Amino acid sequence: MNVIHFICDYAEGAHPNVLKKLEETNLEQTEGYGEDRFCRAAAERIKELCAAPEAQVHFLTGGTQANLTVIAAALRPYEGVIAAESGHIACHETGAIEASGHKVLTLPARDGKISAGQVERLCREHAEDPVKEHTVKPGMVYLSNPTELGTLYRLEELEELSQVCRKRGLTLYLDGARLGYGLAARGNDVSLPDIARLCDAFYLGGTKQGALFGEAVVLCAPRLQEGFRYHIKQRGGMLAKGRLLGLQFLALLEDGLYWELSQHADRMADRLREGLREAGCPLLVETSANMVFPILPDAWLEPLARTYTFSVFQRVDGDRSAVRFCTSWATRPEYVERLAQDLRRLADSTV
């Protein structure tokens, strides 16, 4: 038998409905570059779900593409983007933001999150700096929700961040690569319309949420909308057969499939969290969406790696490490069960 992947939420292809939709429309001829009826329909659907009739929706192929395009479109040359030290744009995009000319201004994160207070302080320090023109001006706040640590912003936190951004003239942008998993998580108190109301831009992830690939960028602030298609083309993100992206989002948003798949992943993660509790494994950080960061004895890693893939996140102490398990729309219950049992068995044998 092959190994079972818990290493990420993009190990499979797409939900069957997505493939079916692609097939059904396969030989239909349409306009290129995202100007077809499927993209239009998907954009309308997303604006409805966001309760944001004035927003623009654009479909891009991936998350880094979305991030670098939105950020380069929003910032002036001397502005930088504020992000958590652990933020994806700060760590895992090979300097894509810098390659478009902008500095990432990092803030220490608490469980992957940054706060309105931190942003306000940074802006105030910049504004009061007698040589501020020798430093990068904060121009944007980048959040991810769920964060890289799988945690969620609470509505109150987002409200405060939005407020400080508006006060300080910063664009608020939310990376929603796993937004569905976040919205479906137990205890989450944020809705899609909240996000559309509080952020200037965000994207609703497809790649990790059941699509083959693709992210839906939602531009809420009018100032970001002008000329955005030029940006997409210039950065290499405009798909010739743009319809593929519209079609996939149509399939996912039909009859609430997107939310159903998100819930599935979160329930699988809940079961895994339960299994970890049973096995006596503490968590590095409390999460309720689809990523789980248990602290495991190093001695367990090799036996587990024979059956499962996962990533080693960080060393915790002399003989324990935090690892990351991801569930997804495609995670099979029997695999989570099996992992829970294996963890229990390791716990038992350790005692």
Instruction: Show contacts with a copy of itself in window 93-152 (CB under 8 A).
Output: 93-96, 98-104, 130-131, 133-137
Give the number of residues in contact with a copy of itself, rule: CB under 8 A: 78
In DSSP notation, 311-344 reads EEEEEEETTEEEEEEE--TT--HHHHHHHHHHHH
**CA gap 91, 108 in Å, rounded:** 13
Question: Is 265 near a copy of itself (CB under 8 A)?
Answer: no
> Candidates 70-78, 145-153, 192-200, 290-298 — which segment interacts with a copy of itself by CB under 8 A?
70-78
Query: In terms of DSSP bridges, do strands 308-309 and 4-5 run parallel, antiparallel, or are they unpaired?
Result: parallel
Q: Is the Cβ of residue 144 or residue 207 nearer to a copy of itself in the bound state? A: 207
Residue 169 engages a copy of itself in binding (rule: CB under 8 A): no
Q: Does 10 bind a copy of itself (CB under 8 A)?
A: yes
Candidates 113-121, 231-239, 276-284, 341-349; binding stretch for a copy of itself (CB under 8 A): 231-239
Write the binding mask 26 to 45 for a copy of itself: x where contact by CB under 8 A, - elsewhere.
xxxxxxxx------------
Q: Any contact of residue 213 with a copy of itself (CB under 8 A)?
A: yes
Complex with a copy of itself: residue 48 or 226, whichever CB lies closer? 226
Give the amino acid at 251.
A
The tokens for 312 are 């080693």
User: If binding is defined by CB under 8 A, does position 234 make contact with a copy of itself?
Assistant: yes
Using the CB atoms, write b or e for 194-204: b if 16+ within 10 Å: bbbebbbbbbb
Rounded CA-CA distance 238/26 in Å is 19
Q: Does 207 bind a copy of itself (CB under 8 A)?
A: yes
Smallest distance from a copy of itself to CB 100, Å: 8
Q: Please, what's the largest Cα pairwise distance for the chain?
A: 64
Q: CB-wise, 27 or 351, nearer to a copy of itself? A: 27
125/286 with CB nearer a copy of itself? 125
* Identity at 19, one-letter amino acid code: L
Nearer to a copy of itself, 101 or 346 (CB): 101
Positions in 71-90 near a copy of itself (CB under 8 A): 72-73, 76-78, 80
- Cis status of the peptide bond prior to 333, with omega within 30 of 0: no
Q: How many whole angstroms separate alpha carbon 242 and alpha carbon 249?
A: 12
CB nearer to a copy of itself: give 186 or 332: 332
Contact between 268 and a copy of itself by CB under 8 A: the answer reads: no
Nearest to 84, CA basis, from 174, 23, 211:
174
Q: Cβ 254 to a copy of itself, closest distance in Å?
A: 18
The residue from 45, 178, 231, 324 that contacts a copy of itself (CB under 8 A) is: 231
Which window, 67-75, 190-198, 266-274, 290-298, contacts a copy of itself (CB under 8 A)?
Answer: 67-75
HSE value, Cβ hemisphere, 13 Å, CA-based, for 4: 18
The answer to whether 246 touches 112, Cβ cutoff 8 Å, is: no
* CB-count burial class (<10 Å; 0-12, 13-18, 19+) for 214: buried
Phi/psi for 81 (5° steps) reads -115, 130
| Member of 330, 336, 339, 340 binding a copy of itself (CB under 8 A) | 330
Instruction: Give the whole-angstrom CA distance, residue 165 versus residue 305.
Output: 44
Please name the amino acid found at residue 331. T
